[in-house]
Structure 1
Amino acid sequence: MHAITIPESGGPEVLQWAEVPDPVPAEGEVLIEVAASAVNRADLLQRQGFYDPPPGASPYPGLECSGRIAALGPGVAGWAVGDEVCALLAGGGYAEKVAVPAGQVLPVPDGVDLVTAAALPEVTATVWSNVFMVAHLRPGETLLVHGGASGIGTMAIQLAKAVGARVAVTAGSKEKLAFCGDLGADVLIDYREQDFAEEIQRATDGAGADVILDIMGAKYLERNVNSLAVSGRLAIIGMQGGVKGELNIATLLRKRAAVTATSLRARPVTEKTSIVAAVREHVWPLIGAGQVRPVVDRTLPMRDAGAAHQVLESSGHIGKVLLVR
């Protein structure tokens, strides 16, 4: 088969479409003939040499895909060759075929075409596990989403609104903020011109956000904690703004607040299986009913993955960038 390989760390130009050995599904795995994959920030970090795949994972980038099941490994039940699916991966999505644990596979939701389904596994699993399974966002609460126009952000807005929460977002352009508003965001904050901490206090009459979903890390840590409501929960899922920050424990104690930080890729298969099962139970019906939809900025040929990485690095996109075979 062919896959995008990374012969050496570097810029988008190092990505190469090359012939590699076919994967073979192990016990409990299925083999998927890939129709499409999606580009995530983790793929850029892997290309740069900062985020190696977990032990035993495919060396090729790509944390999600859609396609058709081509073969079943020993012990797999509930799936059949030819089923149209999408899947959460530890790697290997930028390829013609990928082997994945059966518990990380999802049926293509009603109303979504096979290619577009590649935009769903990573964002739905990330948002549901952090915002709902960890931070326990409830109806009537306020969620602040940093990077509201990203793949993660556009999904977080929709899921939070679907359960009856109020949503505030940050983004860096009027176009992106307008798109977030069209998705249902109630409070639109331009981080280039406004202080989000001041704006969230103003929007909540000083109460603060009950849950914050953060992709920035250190740069926003102090202001995020200051922006939390009493019993607020800060969920950190990225470190685009650095890895080391100062945490005021007194503020955290006074607010009886919590700070969590999670990643998805390196979790054990059992944990990913639980998250994927929760996504299928809670998110897939919302997609089927048209309350939630994948947001795709553009599709590019998989062999042009370098160009897709450039799109993400320039932050010129809204939603997901897909790679199509």
Structure 2
Amino acid sequence: MKAVVMNEPGAPEVLSLQDLPEPERITETQLKVRIEAAGVNPIDTKLRSRGVFLPAGLPAVLGCDGAGVVVETGAEAGEFRTGDAVWFCSGGLGGVQGNYAEFVLVDSSAARKKPASIDFATAAAGPLVLITAWEALFDRARVTAGQTVLIHAGAGGVGHVAIQLAKQAGARVLTTVSTTQKAEFVKSIGADEVILYPEVDFVEAVNDLTGGRGADVVLDTVGPAVFRRSIPAVAHYGDLVTLLDPGQDVEWKEACNRNMRIGFTLMLTPMLRDLPEARAHHGEILERCGELVDAGRLRIEVAGRLPLAEAAEAHRQIEAGHLQGKLVLLP
């Protein structure tokens, strides 16, 4: 089969299209899937540039997100049958083959049937960001109806689905974006208030929009500087959830005075630590999100579709920043 292989860390050019043997099932819970599309995420570019998680993880096939057709099932693979269209987040961290390939093995607990209303490319753009947004909003911050939620980088991969999930929960959604074009996009998917952060101080804007109270929940999808700046934008007894390491120089005094709850979301944990129950929870999240997609209540934005051989170009585009939605590779 064709696969994009990384032999060493480095620039996008370290990714090369190679011929590899097709993977063979080793457990009865596994599915063998013919990949129709693979999502590309920022974590892929970080692993490519700095190295994979496992010391003996090279050479590696990256790519956590996938959508395709089941071509073989184990005896303990549950409801799945040959020919089923599925979507999933699995592999791609080093050691376990990822989805930049024509075939992949997936544990059946992590996979769910693809929403019927969307194509494979759109489905492949969804799993990692949907699971991340769901865990951040509902498992960490416990978002409920009537709360005000601030989502940073609302036009990005995690941001654009987080806006929609928070709205489904009955929250008032504020979001930050960099351009007027992105402002129009996030309004179209449900954002109540949009803050153009290059032009406006987002802390002042949030406090103005909430009568000085701050947002009940703030989701940081950007990084340390935004995390630190977000603390005075959180309501007393509110939640600040981040997807990234906030760094060593955080001034915690104001967070303590606000009696804030700090949360971390890394949806890769079940794969990194081999946690079967958490992996199954990810499958449950995909099932619930799939229902929302098919009901027309959740939209997954595809920023672009590239051939598998152009994985390096996809990485360049992600590292350039400011994409609207997700990039997808097509084997």
**Structure 1 segments unaligned to the other structure (5+ residues):** none
Q: Match for 1:77: what amino acid?
A: G
Residue 98 (structure 1) aligns with: 104
| Pairing 1:125–2:131 present | yes
4+ residue runs of structure 1 moved beyond 6 angstroms? 54-58
Q: Match for 1:255: what amino acid?
A: R
Residue 26 (structure 1) aligns with: 26
Q: Percent identity?
A: 31
Q: How does 1:132-151 map to 2 (within 5 A)?
A: 132-151=138-157
Residues 53 and 42 of structure 1: is their aligned pair in 2 closer, same or farther, counting only changes over 3 Å? farther
What are the Cα deviations for residues 216-263 of structure 1, in whole angstroms up to 9, with x where unaligned? 332123321211112211111135xx6333132x42333221111121
| Pairing 1:251–2:254 present | yes
SS at match of 1:149: coil
Matches of 2:233 and 2:15, distance apart in 1:
40
- Report the Cα offset of residue 3 of structure 1: 1.0
Contact 1:218/1:245, CA 8 A, preserved across alignment: no
Q: How does 1:229-248 map to 2 (within 5 A)?
A: 229-239=235-245, 243-248=247-252
Matches of 2:87 and 2:34, distance apart in 1:
11
- Report the Cα offset of residue 77 of structure 1: 1.6
Total equivalences in the alignment: 321
Residues 263 and 189 of structure 1: is their aligned pair in 2 closer, same or farther, counting only changes over 3 Å? same
SS at match of 1:275: helix
Q: How does 1:1-325 map to 2 (within 5 A)?
A: 1-27=1-27, 28-52=29-53, 59-91=60-92, 92-239=98-245, 243-248=247-252, 250-267=253-270, 268-281=275-288, 283-325=289-331
Matches of 2:116 and 2:207, distance apart in 1:
39
**Structure 2 segments unaligned to the other structure (5+ residues):** 93-97
- Report the Cα offset of residue 210 of structure 1: 1.0
Matches of 1:172 and 1:195, distance apart in 2:
12
Matches of 1:262 and 1:59, distance apart in 2:
25
What is the TM-score when the length of structure 2 is the normalising length?
0.91
RMSD: 1.9
Matches of 2:183 and 2:296, distance apart in 1:
22
SS at match of 2:4: strand
Contact 1:4/1:303, CA 8 A, preserved across alignment: yes
Residues 285 and 21 of structure 1: is their aligned pair in 2 closer, same or farther, counting only changes over 3 Å? same
- Report the Cα offset of residue 43 of structure 1: 0.2
Contact 1:16/1:303, CA 8 A, preserved across alignment: yes
- Report the Cα offset of residue 56 of structure 1: 8.0
Matches of 1:195 and 1:45, distance apart in 2:
29
What are the Cα deviations for residues 11-63 of structure 1, in whole angstroms up to 9, with x where unaligned? 11211011123222232211111000011000000110244259889931101
SS at match of 2:151: strand
Contact 1:57/1:90, CA 8 A, preserved across alignment: no
SS at match of 2:117: coil
What are the Cα deviations for residues 269-322 of structure 1, in whole angstroms up to 9, with x where unaligned? 3212113213413x2222111011111111000110111111111124210111
Q: Match for 2:237: what amino acid?
A: S
What are the Cα deviations for residues 132-167 of structure 1, in whole angstroms up to 9, with x where unaligned? 111111111111111111111110111111221111
Matches of 2:215 and 2:237, distance apart in 1:
10
Matches of 2:306 and 2:285, distance apart in 1:
30
Matches of 1:308 and 1:162, distance apart in 2:
31
